[in-house]
Amino acid sequence: MLNTFHLQTFLAVVDAGNYTAAAELLHMSQPAVSQQIRTLEEQLGDVRLFRRVGQRMVPTHAGEELLVAARELVTLAERAEQNIRALRGQVAGRVTIGCTPNSGEYLLPPLLAAFHTLFPTVMLTVQVAPSEVLLEELVSQQITLLLIEEQQRRRGWESRMVGSEDLVLVAPAHHPLLQQEAVPPGMLREEPLVLPRAGTPLRRTIEEGLRRRGLVSTDLCIALETDSMALALQGVYSGLGLAFIPATRRIPLPELAPVDLAGAPLQQEWYVLRVRERSAPRAAQELFTFLIGETARALLNKAGLQVTDGSA
C-alpha cells in the first residue's frame, strides 16, 4: 500500500524540480528525499519515476501516471486529518493560496497575519505566479484559493469581489505632461508606454479602460512589456515610457509623479476565487470566509482598496 508521506515527497520533487529544493520544502536532508523516492519506486515494481533534464528532475511516463492519483490521495489524507481535528473543535491543516505578483504580494501579508492570529494551527502557503498558471493550479487542486484581479465565470467556481483600486499613470518628474491639468487620454497616442504582458488581467483592465476613452490597442506605443512592477517603475524612471501603477503600491521613487489624466481613473478589481466543494477542508472554508469578511475588508481599506460588501 502506498505511503502518503512517500507521495508527499514525490509531489515535492515534482513541484520543486529537484531533490535539493524538495528537501528544503520538506525540511529534510537531500539523501532522505532520495531514499523516499527509491522506496516508492520499489513499491511500484522498481519503476523509475524521474529522469534528469538539465538541472531539473522531470517525471517519467510512470511518474506522470502517478501524479494525478498522488495529488488526490494526499489531498484526501489531509482532508481526513483536518475533519477529525474539526470534530474536536480544532481548525488545523494546510491551505495554499495563490496570488499574482506585485499588488497581490502586497495585499496578502496583513490578511494572512490576521487570519493566523485567529487560527494559529493552520499552516499557510502562498504560491506567486502569473494568473494563467494559478488558474490551472486551482483546477488541479495544487492551490485552494486564489486572490486575482479579474472576475472568473466558470461553472463550479465561486468568485467574490473584495474591492477595487485606482490605476495611476506615472511619469518621470521632469515630464511635460506633469505640467498640465486634466491631460486628454488621446495624448497617450504620442507617449511610449510600459505595460503588463498581453493577456494578463491587468493588461486587459488597462486596455479596456483606455478603449472606453477612445484609445484602442493599436493606438498605443508600447516600449516595454513586463509583469514586474519594480521593473516597470525603473523603466519609467529610465525614460522608457509611462506606466499604470496600482494605487496600493504608492509611488516609491521621488523622481516619479502621477499624471493628471482627464476623466474617471482606470480601476482594477480584486476577487477571491475557489472551486465550490461541499467537502472542502475546514481550514480552507475558514480562510475563504475570512477573506470576504469584515476584518479583511477593513485591512484592505487600510491598504488603499475601495472595499465592497463581499457580494458575488
Is the same domain home to 280 and 157?
yes
- The DSSP H or E segment spanning 115 is helix 103-118
Q: Which three cell numbers stand for residue 279?
A: 467537502
CATH code of the domain containing 56: 1.10.10.10
114, part of any domain: yes
Pairing of strands 50-53, 56-59: antiparallel
Is the same domain home to 57 and 204?
no
Distance CA 245, CA 195 (A): 10
* Mean pLDDT, range 261-287, rounded to an integer: 87
Burial of residue 199 (number of CB atoms within 10 Å: 0-12, 13-18, 19+) = exposed
What domain range includes position 84?
80-163+269-307
Q: What is the pLDDT of residue 71?
A: 86
Helices then strands, counting H and E runs in the chain, come out as 10, 12
As a whole-number percent, the residues of the chain with pLDDT over 90 amount to 51
DSSP secondary structure code for residue 261 in this structure: B
Is the same domain home to 132 and 180?
no
Minimal CA–CA distance to 286: which of 93, 88, 134?
Answer: 93
Q: What is the pLDDT of residue 312?
A: 43
Q: How many domains does the chain have?
A: 3
Is the same domain home to 63 and 186?
no
Summarised one tens digit per residue, pLDDT across range 105-126 is 888 999 999 999 988 889 999 9
* Mean pLDDT, range 285-291, rounded to an integer: 93
Q: What is the pLDDT of residue 82?
A: 62
Cα→Cα distances 65→47, 49, 60, 265, Å: 12, 9, 9, 50
Report whether pLDDT(310) > 60: no
Is the same domain home to 181 and 235?
yes
Report whether pLDDT(172) > 70: yes
Is the same domain home to 117 and 152?
yes
Is the same domain home to 190 and 119?
no
Summarised one tens digit per residue, pLDDT across range 28-66 is 888 888 998 999 999 888 899 999 998 889 999 999 989
Q: Which three cell numbers stand for residue 147?
A: 486572490
Summarised one tens digit per residue, pLDDT across range 186-233 is 999 999 999 999 989 999 999 999 999 999 989 999 999 998 888 999
Q: What is the pLDDT of residue 74?
A: 80
Q: Which three cell numbers stand for residue 100?
A: 499574482
Is the same domain home to 34 and 114?
no
Is the same domain home to 34 and 111?
no
CATH code of the domain containing 228: 3.40.190.10
247, part of any domain: yes
120, part of any domain: yes
Q: Which amino acid is at 125?
A: T
Report whether pLDDT(89) > 70: no
Is the same domain home to 224 and 281?
no
* Mean pLDDT, range 250-279, rounded to an integer: 86
pTM of the model: 0.68
Q: What is the pLDDT of residue 3?
A: 82
Residue 83 pLDDT class (50, 70, 90 cuts): low
Report whether pLDDT(91) > 70: no
75, part of any domain: no
Q: Within 13 Å and on the Cβ side, how many CA atoms surround 181? A: 0
What is the rounded average pLDDT for all residues in the chain?
Answer: 88
Report whether pLDDT(244) > 50: yes
Name residues whose C-beta falls within 8 Å of residue 31's C-beta, 6 or more positions apart in sequence: none
Q: What is the pLDDT of residue 167?
A: 93
Length of the chain: 312
Is the same domain home to 227 and 244?
yes
Report whether pLDDT(277) > 90: no
Is the same domain home to 156 and 274?
yes
105, part of any domain: yes
Q: What is the pLDDT of residue 278?
A: 60
312, part of any domain: no
